[in-house]
Amino acid sequence: MAASICNPQLRLLNALRANAKPIMTFLGLPSFRTAQIVAQTGLDGIIIDCEHGHISDDSMHSATAAVASMGVSPLVRLRMTHSDLIKRALDTGAHGIVVPQINTAEEARAVVTYSKFPPQGLRGQGSAFPAITHGIDIQTYMETANKTLITCLQIESKLGLENVDAICAVPGVDMIFIGPNDLALSLLGHVPAKGDEPELVDAIDKIVAAARKYGKWVGRLSNNGALGREHLKVFDTVALSYDIRAMQNWYTSELQVARS
C-alpha cells in the first residue's frame, strides 16, 4: 500500500493512496460494450463479477480490456479462493482481485500467496495481457505487480467476523470489503436488512476497526448515491450498486412515471 511506484494507469490504486474516496460499481453482464459504457460514466473502478454475475472466462477478458481502455481500473471478483481462478483473473490484466467469503487467516494467506510472484508468492508468469492493461511493458509489470495489484478480501460471515483481526493482520492484504447482504444473512438470518440492526451495525464497526488497526483500506457496497455519500465519510471506497440493478431501477421508475 505504501509503495512509491506510480503508474497513472492504475486509477483506483492512485485514488486510494491519495485518500480521494474513489467510487466503483459491479459489472454482471457479459458485454464488451456494457463495460465501456459503464466505464465512461466517471467511475474509478469496476468490479467484474465472476461470482454472481453472468461472466464467463471470455467475458472476463473482454470486460477487463474494455474497462482499462477507458482509463478505469478493472478488478475481478472471483468465485472462490482457488489458485487457478486467481491466476486467470490476474492474467487478464485486472488491477486487482476481490475474493468473497474469506473466513480465516489461512484463507487470506493462500490468496496472497497465489496473487504474488516469487519470492513473495507462487504466481506463475506467462500472460502478455496484464502489461497492456497496466500500460507498461512485461518486464516492468513483473517488477512492479507485487506492489501495485490490489488484493481485496470480503468479510461476509459470522466466522469471517470472528477472525477479522487475524485476517486483517495478514501481510499482502490491501483492502477489506464488506458484503452487507451476506453478512446480514449470516448474522440475522434474513435479507434484506434495514441496515440499522444493532448486531449488523456492531459487526460493520468491528470490521472497519480491524482494517484501520492493520492499515488496510476498507470498502463496502452502497445501494445508491445518497448512501454512498454517507458511507464515504467512514469508508475509503464504495461500490455503487450494480449494472443490472441500475437498469432495473431506471425502467421501474420511468415506467411508473409513464403510466401515472
Q: Provide the annotated active-site residues.
A: 52
Q: Which three cell numbers stand for residue 105?
A: 487467516
**Rounded Cα gap, residues 146 and 120, in angstroms:** 8
DSSP string, the chain: -------TT-HHHHHHHTT---EEEEE-S--HHHHHHHHTTS-SEEEEETTTSS--HHHHHHHHHHHHHTT-EEEEE-SS--HHHHHHHHHTT-SEEEE----SHHHHHHHHHHHS-TTT-------SHHHHHTTS-HHHHHHHHHHHSEEEEEE-SHHHHHTHHHHHTSTT--EEEE-HHHHHHHHHS-SS--S--HHHHHHHHHHHHHHHHTT-EEEEEESSHHHHHHHTTT-SEEEEEEHHHHHHHHHHHHHHHHT-
**Which amino acid type is present at position 19?**
N
